[in-house]
């Protein structure tokens, strides 16, 4: 709501109400209720009902009242709204029914009129989410005068209702609703029962208690709207001495209010007019979610001891002793009491006076518990009440079971329709036309159409019609199952696929497989498989039976594999039984293993067999090791003189220990050691060493021992023409007729070169010019099969 709009509207209302009397004493009691509309969140019907004192009230009925919503947690104003009443003249009000019209008049009269305000509103659920909830209030003035237990006059009146947040489980909640009141008199020292009950549209648990009536902030008609905006907590009335909220009416035994039913019992011990408030709290799942209150007024008088006879209430057309009338749909029942011109009659439904029901007969069309209360017309006395007559709606229903199939699958097909089991007569209909024939609860039919059944209660003649079941004519489906043949591989399954229907049920060996209702089934056992399919109408077909066997797995073997020395080893042919399988693993190609492709290391070779029917077989495995061969480091040749001792050392790496074998044995000692010795060789000889490692792998290497004459190479000469060391003489060079001698200066330039023997020694001249003193580099290539000798010589001047 727009608060600015309502504040402006209140100013208009103030100017209107100033024309009313400033004093008011017309309110007997009343309550508010808040009902959700059509289950729509935030949409409510707000209704206030109060009772106008027609004997004492002088104030005109206020045409428009202000209602205000506050938040409970902090009394924050949320919304305000005005609600009107269609009746503004008290002379036009509907009166509260009076049970005993002959009793007191004047000060103790109970002529009360019913005033109602109601309006549909919409609250924004997003603003009403506080868990503590909210309260709706209307403040008015004033209570009727002459109240025995009330202290003061011109006492205000506050209508109060709490409601939960418009969210979650309470989004569509409706408040409790008090039943209409009776204008009953209490007779002093006579037990009196009065209903303060309420109903709840949501079925919530209700709890009743006394509470102090609320006074509020409105004290005169002049502050009816301004003070109505003042939030709670609201002030309460002040009781006269000896009275309280829990003891508003003195009595013996004391007044009691049943917290579960809202029934008040009291035996008043004095005359007077008494007010009290009943609070009904609303509980859901053990939690309070709301409350509303109603103020009541009861009058106690000293009744003469005139007690009319108890009226005899009966049901017309029923046996006299019958106390229950069954109301067929659209029909009524008539309750009767013996007519007596000296008596007043007041019929009650569920303990509440029925307005206008003051004749000996009553025609009813609502379920409930009915009684008639009688009193003398011409003198005051006590009342008498009849026994209770119950009107009960004929609520018997009949339900047609939905058949497992709703289609006739062939001209000769039938469907059995089944209705509820009841002590009634069954009349069957197809397309609205009676079928006649059997009247039992089951009916076998063979034609398409819309079927229903009507039941007739044999004792009351009441009827009820069932729901309808529609049968159609439909073709029978054709069940398919694929594959149509096959085997189940051991430790595997075979996928079966069905088609041709809307629903499926698989069978194994003629028995339904629980939970197997999809189009696929994975078969794991040998046996007979089939599928039952049904179309949307329930027509069924069963597939051909598929017989499946389990194919065992073949258990293959594989020949052991010997180790291989080196990646240059031979290709190994693989074999397994039974034949026809496949090999896999490093270095495997077809049925061959290549150590070169696999590389050094231990390798697992797998042989997988195949089984009949395309089933996979088991596998066999063997390992094969490709060992690394020993690595030998040995010079390719060694040059020595004839009178030399030569050491040959084979440096080996690999998987030791190693075994050695040198050949030939000529001039050689230590032929089984890593180091062998050649002593005084006489000619060039090639020696071969064979090395065997711990795995038996063998490697070989050779070294050639070259025998050459000894060569003397001076490291200095002085070409100064003193006939001493004038040339660089190489002693023994004549043994090498093909020798090549090359000399370089410090810059790498050739300053001397002689080939095919050293016939002309180096004399320190280049182009007949003396070379400068210094160090020179030489390279001696004695023969093609001897490695060059390199060194330096000093030229001195």
pLDDT in tens, 143-192: 888 899 999 888 888 999 999 999 999 999 999 999 998 888 888 999 99
Lowest-pLDDT range, 228-242, 373-387, 669-683? Answer: 373-387
Q: What is the mean pLDDT of residues 762-790?
A: 91
User: 183 near 358, Cβ under 8 Å?
Assistant: no
Is the pLDDT reported for residue 206 higher than 80? yes
Average pLDDT over residues 19-23: 42
**pLDDT higher than threshold 80 for residue 16:** no
Q: Which of 577, 546, 545 is nearest to 560 (CA)?
A: 577
Backbone angles phi, psi at 222, to 5 degrees: -70, -25
Task: Name the nearest CA neighbour of 658 among 688, 621, 690, 628.
Answer: 690
Distance CA 271, CA 138 (A): 31
- What percent of the chain has a predicted confidence (pLDDT) above 90? 63
Cα 271 to the center of its chain, rounded Å: 65
SS3 585: coil
Phi, psi of 791 (to 5 degrees): -175, -165
User: What 3-state DSSP class applies to 518?
Assistant: coil
C-alpha to C-alpha distance for 671 and 658, rounded to whole angstroms? 13
Query: Judging by beta carbons within 10 Å of its beta carbon (0-12, 13-18, 19+), is residue 147 exposed, middle or buried?
Result: buried
Question: Measured between alpha carbons, how far is 384 from 538 in angstroms, rounded to an integer?
Answer: 65
Structure tokens at 637: 């040749």
- Average pLDDT of the chain is 89
DSSP states of 253-273 as a string?
SPPEE-TTT-EEEE-B-S-EE
| Torsion sign (Cα): 317, 318, 324, 329 | negative
For residues 545 and 571, is the Cβ–Cβ distance under 8 A? no
602 pLDDT exceeds 60? yes
Secondary structure (3-state) at 129 = coil
Q: So what's the pLDDT on residue 243?
A: 97
Q: Which two tokens stand for residue 707?
A: 């025998």
pLDDT at 9: 36
Neighbouring-strand partners of residue 333: 364
Does the structure show a pLDDT above 90 at 775?
Answer: yes
Question: Which one, of 83, 2, 17, lies nearest residue 50 by Cα?
Answer: 83
**What does the pLDDT look like over 217-226, one tens digit per residue?**
877 655 667 7
Query: What is each CA distance from 646 to 227, 630, 687, 732, 781, in whole angstroms?
Result: 132, 24, 12, 21, 22
Single pTM value for the model: 0.52
Which of residues 278 and 8 earns the better pLDDT score?
278
Quote the pLDDT of residue 396.
83
Read off the tokens for 451. Answer: 């079927």
Please report the domains of the chain, with CATH numbers, ordered by start residue.
3-301 (no CATH), 313-393 (2.60.40.10), 407-473 (2.60.40), 480-551 (2.60.40.10), 557-615 (no CATH), 631-707 (2.60.40.10), 716-795 (2.60.40)
Which tokens go with 44? 């409510």
- The yes-or-no verdict on residue 2 having pLDDT over 80 is no
Q: Does the structure show a pLDDT above 70 at 20?
A: no
Token couple for 143: 């209570």
* Whole-number Å distance between alpha carbons of 553 and 550: 9
State residue 107's pLDDT score.
58
Task: Tell me, rounded to whole angstroms, the distance of Cα 734 from its chain centroid.
Answer: 106
Please report where in the chains the tokens 């290709």 appear, as a residue: 571
């Amino acid at each position: 709501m727009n608060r600015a709009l309502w504040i402006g509207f209140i100013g208009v209302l103030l100017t209107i109400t100033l024309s009313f009397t400033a004093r008011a004493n017309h309110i007997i009691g009343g309550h508010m209720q808040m009902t959700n509309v059509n289950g729509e969140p935030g949409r409510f019907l707000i209704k206030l009902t109060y009772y106008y004192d027609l004997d004492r009230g002088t104030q005109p009925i206020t045409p428009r009242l202000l209602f205000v919503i506050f938040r409970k947690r902090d009394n924050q104003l949320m919304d305000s709204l005005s609600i009107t009443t269609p009746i503004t003249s008290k002379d036009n009000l509907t009166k509260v029914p009076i049970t005993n019209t002959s009793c007191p008049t004047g000060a103790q009269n109970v002529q009360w009129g019913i005033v109602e305000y109601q309006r549909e509103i919409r609250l924004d659920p997003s603003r009403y989410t506080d868990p503590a909830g909210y309260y709706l209030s209307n403040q008015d003035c004033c209570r009727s005068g002459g109240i025995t237990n009330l202290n003061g006059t011109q006492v205000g009146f506050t209508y109060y209702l709490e409601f939960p947040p418009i969210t979650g489980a309470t989004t569509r909640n409706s408040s409790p609703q008090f039943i209409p009141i009776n204008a009953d008199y209490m007779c002093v020292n006579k037990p009196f029962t009065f209903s303060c009950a309420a109903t709840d549209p949501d079925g919530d648990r209700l709890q009743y208690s006394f509470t102090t009536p609320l006074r509020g902030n409105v004290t005169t008609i002049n502050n009816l709207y301004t003070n109505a905006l003042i939030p709670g907590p609201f002030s309460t009335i002040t009781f006269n001495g000896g009275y309280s909220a829990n003891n508003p009416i003195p009595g013996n035994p004391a007044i009691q209010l049943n917290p579960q039913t809202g029934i008040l019992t009291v035996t008043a011990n004095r005359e007077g007019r008494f007010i009290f408030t009943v609070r009904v709290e609303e509980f859901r799942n053990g939690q309070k979610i709301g409350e509303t209150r109603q103020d009541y007024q009861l009058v106690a008088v000293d009744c003469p001891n005139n007690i009319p006879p108890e009226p005899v209430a009966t049901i017309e057309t029923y046996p006299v002793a019958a106390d229950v009338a069954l109301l067929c749909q659209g029909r009524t029942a008539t309750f009767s009491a013996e007519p007596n011109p000296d008596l007043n009659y007041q019929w009650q439904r569920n303990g509440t006076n029925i307005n206008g029901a003051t004749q000996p007969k009553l025609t009813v069309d609502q379920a409930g518990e009915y009684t008639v209360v009688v009193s003398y017309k011409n003198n005051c006395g006590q009342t008498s009440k009849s026994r209770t007559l119950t009107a009960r709606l004929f609520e018997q229903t009949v339900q047609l079971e939905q058949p497992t199939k709703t289609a006739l699958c062939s001209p000769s097909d039938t469907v059995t329709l089944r209705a509820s089991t009841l002590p009634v007569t069954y009349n069957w209909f197809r397309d609205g036309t009676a079928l006649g024939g059997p009247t039992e609860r089951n009916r076998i039919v063979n034609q398409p159409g819309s079927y229903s059944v009507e039941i007739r209660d044999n004792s009351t003649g009441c009827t009820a019609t069932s729901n309808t079941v529609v049968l159609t004519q439909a073709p029978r489906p054709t069940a398919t199952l694929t594959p149509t043949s096959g085997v189940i591989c051991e430790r595997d399954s075979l996928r079966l696929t069905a088609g041709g229907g809307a629903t499926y049920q698989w069978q194994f060996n003629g028995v339904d497989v629980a939970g197997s209702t999809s189009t696929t089934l994975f078969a794991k056992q040998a046996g007979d498989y089939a599928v039952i399919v049904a179309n949307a109408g329930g027509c069924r077909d069963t597939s051909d039976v598929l017989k499946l066997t389990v194919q065992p797995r073949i258990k293959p073997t594989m020949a052991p594999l010997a180790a291989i020395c080196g990646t240059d080893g031979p290709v190994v042919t693989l074999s397994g039984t039974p034949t026809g399988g496949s090999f896999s693993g490093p270095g495997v190609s077809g049925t061959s293993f290549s150590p070169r492709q696999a590389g050094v290391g231990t390798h697992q070779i797998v042989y997988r067999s195949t089984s009949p029917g395309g089933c996979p077989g088991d596998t066999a495995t063997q390992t094969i090791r490709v060992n690394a061969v020993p690595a030998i480091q040995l010079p390719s040749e060694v040059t020595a003189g004839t009178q030399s001792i030569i050491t040959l050392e084979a440096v080996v790496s690999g998987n030791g220990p190693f075994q050695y074998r040198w050949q030939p044995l000529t001039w050689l000692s230590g032929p089984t050691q890593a180091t062998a010795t050649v002593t005084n060789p006489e000619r060039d000889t090639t020696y071969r060493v064979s090395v065997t490692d711990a795995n038996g792998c063998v490697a070989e290497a050779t070294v050639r021992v070259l025998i050459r004459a000894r060569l003397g190479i001076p490291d200095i000469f002085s070409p100064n023409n003193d006939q001493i060391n004038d040339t660089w003489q190489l002693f023994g060079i004549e043994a090498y007729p093909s020798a090549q001698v090359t000399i370089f200066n410090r810059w790498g330039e050739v300053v001397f070169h002689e080939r095919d023997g050293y016939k002309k020694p180096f004399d320190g001249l280049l182009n007949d010019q003396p070379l400068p003193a210094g160090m020179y580099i030489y390279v001696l290539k004695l023969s093609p099969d001897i490695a060059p000798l390199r060194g330096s010589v000093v030229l001195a001047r």
